[in-house]
Structure 1
Amino acid sequence: MSVPADVLIIGAGPAGLSAALAAANDGAHVVLLDDNPLPGGQIWRDGVQAKIPAQARQLRDAVDNHASIQRHAGTRVVARAGASALLVEDAERGWLISYRALILCTGARELLLPFPGWTLPGVTGAGGLQALIKGGLPVAGERIVVAGSGPLLLASAGTAKHNGAQVVRIAEQAALGAVAAFALQLPRWPHKLLQSFSLFDPRYRSGTRIIAALGTDRLEGVRLQRGNSVEELECDRLACGFGLIANVQLAQALGCALGNNAVQVDAWQATSVSGIYAAGECTGFGGSELALVEGCIAGHVAAGNRQAAQRLWPGRRRWQRFADALNEHFVLDPALKHLAEPDTLLCRCEDVPYAAVAAHTSWREAKLATRCGMGACQARICGAATQYLFDWQPVAPRPPFGPTRIDTLMQLEGSTQSGH
């Protein structure tokens, strides 16, 4: 059975929530899907130890209480079902949703790069540690090192400290000059300036990168390099992330053009495919403020209210400037491409070492020869790593986009016969 929607939105983070409310307020019937149990995306992730900003709670409540918005949690897209319908599935059933307009708000994930010891128990992504703590992971009394690049390091360290952890080092790979240049621009965005003061930590070191995680059965310490000096620190956890990578797989599968490894959109947040829009981190990284305004623009346009959308352009320009500054000053050092040793695992799911993957010239060739990317994460980690390490471009995923029940897939046959 196909459930029609005027506007179908994939992803209930800041962009998806704001898009849903904007479209619904313009009179559209909105269906909002997200594969997480609670709305908010990664940046507003809820949990037993999470402190959700008031703005996030207000937006979520407004969406949940709006008569024209139907939200489905724990629901993911399985396949395309014709020109304007998707096959989706939750824990209990699969069904078809047809739409007049589609907005992709699929967000981003952490870029994790391989280095010796990165698969030891106790090593996570920087955002991953945040998510675990918000979900209830006890870290009180633990010694934590946070390493990688970008403001997420400070946010992750802040969450850990707030929950009783001892942060022994925050290692930012960007040079001191780049970090200082970014900090000097923060007064243009007063809220961000205040936020930086609250997250400041005297254990923060710029121009410092991870060399190795140390330990046998689990993490015992880390080795860091700063200039020509190397230091080793004992720790219980390492949170390591090298920025974000846009979740573009669904957009690729739907035929949307990409640019700079993100979904390409115009001034109306429209993709290259008619009737499909995109907003938030899947179109580039700029934080929740940019995602919110982009979502509003996309929601208004999808509902046919271009006048309301255009009024939001100045706000988008303001936060796009912040995004541009962020991306300019936290560019990854090319030395990070050489962290892995030949025997360092690159694909953790299938135990494929770096040397085995590096021997090939394309992602497809490496995947066929080594099973890299064919494990449980379906290349979400190793595929992104090879994109950075070797400049390999990922291919568009083929349906089904993940493990799916047979009875869900059988609905595709029915949709073909009925003309969807």
Structure 2
Amino acid sequence: MAAALAAAEAGTRVAVIDAGVRPGGQYWRSPAPGAGPFRPATLHHGWRRFTSTDTRLTELAGTGRVLRLAGHHVWSILPAGDEWSVHCVLGAEPRQHGTPAPVTVHARRLVIATGAYDRQLPFPGWDLPGVITAGGGQALLKGNLVVAGQTVVVAGTGPFLLPVADGLARYGARVAAVIEANSPLAFARFPRAVLGATGKLGEATGYAGRLLRHRVAVRHRHVVLRALGTDRLTGVLVGKLDRAGRVRAGTEREIACDVLAVGWGFTPQLELPLQLGCATRVDVDGSLVVTVDEDQATSVAGVWAAGEATGVGGADLATVEGRLAGLAAAASFGADEVGDDRALRRRRTSLRGFASAMHQVYPIPQVMLERCSDETLVCRCEEVDAGTIRRAVVELGATEARIVKLLARPGMGWCQGRVCGFATACLTARHAGRPVAEADLRAFADRVIAAPTPLGQLATWPGDEPPAGDGG
């Protein structure tokens, strides 16, 4: 949205292709009208910024400067002469026979802002009903005003756990505990980064105060060791980590709950930039991200990227990057209304510094991989356990995650590795005695088809329908 607004106001015609039926993405997700008493201030930061951006885009759409396409899932982007053909499935408006309608948008420039999804690690019992991702719990609340359970434990690592717990507590859940693997005291090692993003401290203080009022215990340097229950979740077993990052003997305790919302950060969604051939790198948090220059330009001419796809850093950083990408895309046409963006660049530098510090403060605890026994399920779609992955490396000689995928089938099920891919890459590297490599991560991020697409559409592709519109 930020990129579209910047480019449109600089004089460029823009098409906004959004997979969401309503604008706002994952961060500014909101319920449908009439869903219930929705109070944006209780679930969102920067809601006014979102509404002003949304309103302005709607105004520009009325002038023909912006084309807004909601509910459009991009499954493929291909070069077509001096422009790009962006192929979409329109999921919200099926054809008469029930097949989602294909739509093609032609554009001379692209800004890719595909976001990210929850990163998960396997542990015993994580496949029990009642165990969900932290983002899933928040999505239910923001998008439907549904509280996932009556008694909730929020676990994993990273500052994202705090707004999840806060939102659930505000809307009536009993949050039994927040189980955080690391400690925010480690930010003391990065004073310059913290001073460059002081607003983040205010957010964290606000969450801490509200959780205290709701009597929610935040247990730092603790991890979930096991999800308890048979047919569904009844509780969790947690333990405290010592200074070496191992579970301290005698600290294990059970916490009763009917929902466990767990998250270990985020995995950038890179199908589209990888389709285009954009260069990538491994970021500080171990994620595969798109490489961009100071203008947010990728290695592919005419393609810019912004937000979590270029490195997980939160909504503020994503918005700044989006605006810079939109301005740069407009400038490539010779637009003369771009203006001075030096303040934006300084802001991006500060927010990127904070994001780098955040990833170092909240790393993935190695104990989660060390305690991943052979019987622990890793790929739930294909029912592949950790022992099968270990044997593929140790006994069958798989040298990278792609070969493990071929031999043992993790990542070949419905989710296509979105849930198990990161864990499989980490386990593969661990058994091979080396760090996680870019090739390991690409094995689960590189997909020819980026979104579920009906065979009927593939049979008629590239199709004979006229484009929905021409975007700048």
Query: Once structures 1 and 2 are overlaid, which stretch shifts more, 400-409 or 112-121?
Result: 400-409
Q: 2:289 aligns with which of 240, 252, 262?
A: 262
Query: Once structures 1 and 2 are overlaid, which stretch shifts more, 260-269 or 50-59?
Result: 50-59
Per-residue deviation, residues 257-306 of structure 1 (Å, max 9, x unmatched): 00121110000000000000000111012211111111000001101156
- The residue type paired with residue 462 of structure 2 is L
- Structure 1 CA distance for aligned equivalents of residues 448 and 317 of structure 2: 31
Q: Is the 8 Å Cα contact of residues 13 and 66 (structure 2) preserved in structure 1?
A: yes
In the alignment of these two chains, the number of paired residues is: 399
Q: 2:344 aligns with which of 270, 287, 312?
A: 312
- Aligned counterpart, 2:90: 90
Q: Is the 8 Å Cα contact of residues 179 and 218 (structure 2) preserved in structure 1?
A: yes
How many angstroms does 1:310 deviate by?
Answer: 4.4
How many angstroms does 1:411 deviate by?
Answer: 3.2
Q: Is the 8 Å Cα contact of residues 94 and 407 (structure 1) preserved in structure 2?
A: no
- Structure 2 CA distance for aligned equivalents of residues 402 and 104 of structure 1: 15
Q: 2:442 aligns with which of 382, 394, 414?
A: 394
How many angstroms does 1:209 deviate by?
Answer: 0.9
Distance 1:226 1:102, change over 3 A: same
Q: Is the 8 Å Cα contact of residues 271 and 278 (structure 1) preserved in structure 2?
A: yes
Answering whether residue 220 of structure 2 is matched by residue 206 of structure 1, we say yes
Answering whether residue 119 of structure 2 is matched by residue 69 of structure 1, we say no
Q: 2:461 aligns with which of 406, 411, 416?
A: 411
Give the 5 Å matches for 1:351-366. Answer: 351-360=383-392, 361=398, 362-366=400-404
- The residue type paired with residue 70 of structure 1 is L
- Aligned counterpart, 2:230: 216
- Structure 2 CA distance for aligned equivalents of residues 393 and 161 of structure 1: 35
- Structure 2 CA distance for aligned equivalents of residues 103 and 296 of structure 1: 10
- Aligned counterpart, 2:303: 276
- Structure 2 CA distance for aligned equivalents of residues 247 and 181 of structure 1: 30
Distance 1:196 1:181, change over 3 A: farther
Q: Is the 8 Å Cα contact of residues 301 and 309 (structure 1) preserved in structure 2?
A: no
Answering whether residue 17 of structure 2 is matched by residue 39 of structure 1, we say no
Per-residue deviation, residues 231-278 of structure 1 (Å, max 9, x unmatched): 111111111100111111211111000012111000000000000000
Distance 1:258 1:141, change over 3 A: closer
Give the 5 Å matches for 1:9-408. Answer: 17-47=1-31, 48=35, 49=38, 51=40, 52=44, 53-67=47-61, 68-83=65-80, 84-91=84-91, 92=94, 93-136=101-144, 138-139=146-147, 142-175=150-183, 177-178=185-186, 186=194, 188-200=196-208, 201-202=211-212, 203-227=217-241, 228=248, 229-260=251-282, 261-304=288-331, 305=335, 307-360=339-392, 361=398, 362-390=400-428, 391=436, 392-395=440-443, 397-408=446-457
- The residue type paired with residue 96 of structure 1 is T
Per-residue deviation, residues 362-408 of structure 1 (Å, max 9, x unmatched): 33323223332122212111112223333323236343333323443
- Structure 2 CA distance for aligned equivalents of residues 220 and 183 of structure 1: 41
- Structure 2 CA distance for aligned equivalents of residues 34 and 309 of structure 1: 26
SS in 1 for 2:238: strand
SS in 2 for 1:145: strand
SS in 2 for 1:70: strand
- Structure 1 CA distance for aligned equivalents of residues 191 and 300 of structure 2: 38
Distance 1:74 1:313, change over 3 A: same
- Structure 2 CA distance for aligned equivalents of residues 164 and 155 of structure 1: 14
- The residue type paired with residue 104 of structure 2 is L
- Structure 2 CA distance for aligned equivalents of residues 28 and 150 of structure 1: 38
Q: Is the 8 Å Cα contact of residues 252 and 397 (structure 1) preserved in structure 2?
A: yes
How many angstroms does 1:179 deviate by?
Answer: 5.5
Q: Following TM superposition, where does structure 1 have runs of at least 4 consecutive aligned residues deviating by more than 6 angstroms?
A: 182-185
TM-score with structure 1 setting the length: 0.88
Distance 1:130 1:180, change over 3 A: farther
Query: Once structures 1 and 2 are overlaid, which stretch shifts more, 264-273 or 124-133?
Result: 124-133
- Structure 1 CA distance for aligned equivalents of residues 343 and 124 of structure 2: 50
Q: Is the 8 Å Cα contact of residues 111 and 242 (structure 1) preserved in structure 2?
A: yes
- The residue type paired with residue 79 of structure 2 is G
Per-residue deviation, residues 209-233 of structure 1 (Å, max 9, x unmatched): 1111101111100011103111111
RMSD between aligned residues: 2.3
Distance 1:62 1:413, change over 3 A: closer
SS in 2 for 1:39: coil
Distance 1:105 1:141, change over 3 A: closer
Q: Is the 8 Å Cα contact of residues 20 and 299 (structure 1) preserved in structure 2?
A: yes
Query: Once structures 1 and 2 are overlaid, which stretch shifts more, 48-57 or 163-172?
Result: 48-57
Percent identity over the alignment? Answer: 37
- Aligned counterpart, 1:14: none
